[in-house]
Structure 1
């Protein structure tokens, strides 16, 4: 039985990049910047302090994997991690690649409008075909 709807919110069915033992990495369906992802704990927890040492240790591997793949895929300038859990009360991190200059990918011009300030998470949904291409590029570089 599902713990909550977090995996539906981020459309795991279409957006899953990689499944780990304790985490799932998905391309975010509302990309604020090119390659925006979300790392979600498989086990439901509403307080990050409930994380186990095994989950935390594996998260370090998730971070290394996603940073390497995003750097090779889109050559980001900085990367931000954001955990809010205000709306979706399940431990997850937004992985937000940041860009000082625009990037072109999948026929789309991607501009980090907030650079160098904090990125906003609200942005229009990206067409599934574009998300599929982003996901494919990230997987290629994992």
Structure 2
């Protein structure tokens, strides 16, 4: 999907994933690691490093997007709950890009989900544990993105 915004070219350097949708202030990417089905990154469409100083309209837009994303993924994949995190730690490691404000949207599942010939499981449901990347094809990634879009 071709999404254009004044800031999107810079965001491609961050490898947040494949663009799904955008609002006036935010752009949603399907994250590269789909070990939790429908995991996304939601990035601000302007240069900002921290949550402090977000404009009221950016917060309002984010809350509306949050509600849309949760509803869509609940309908599309029967997610049990959703974790949202604004984790900026890796930007402060050596040889990284400048920090850029973004959220991690991580659906959690208390049951396996069959989709596009894959079984997506959440064996650490209820806990935050690192998960190895789940290998899926570009076609399956596109199917995931399309199913999310369908219910937005």
Contact 2:27 2:45 in 1 (8 A): yes
CA RMSD, aligned part only? 2.0
Q: Cα distance, 1:32 vs. partner?
A: 2.7
Q: 1:43 aligns with which of 46, 49, 54?
A: 46
Check if 1:108 corresponds to 2:102: no
Q: 1:55 to 1:139 in 2, by over 3 A?
A: same
Q: Structure 1: any 5+ residue segments left out of the alignment? A: none
Q: For the residues of structure 1 that align with 2:8 and 2:143, how far apart are their CA atoms?
A: 30
Instruction: Determine if the alignment matches structure 1 residue 98 to structure 2 residue 108.
Output: yes
Q: Which runs of 4+ in 1 moved over 4 A?
A: 1-5
Q: CA deviation at 1:127?
A: 2.3
Does the residue aligned with 1:136 lie in a helix, a strand or coil?
Answer: helix
Q: Is contact 2:35–2:120 with CA below 8 Å preserved after alignment?
A: no
Larger Rg: 2
Give the secondary structure class of the aligned counterpart of 1:39: strand
Question: With CA pairs under 8 Å and 6+ residues apart, which has the higher RCO, 1 or 2?
Answer: 1
Q: 1:79 deviation in Å?
A: 0.6
1:82 Cα offset (Å): 1.2
2:147 aligns to what? 137
When the two structures are aligned, how many residues end up with a matched partner? 139
Shift of 1:114: 1.4
Q: In the aligned structure 1, how far is the partner of 2:52 from the partner of 2:150?
A: 33
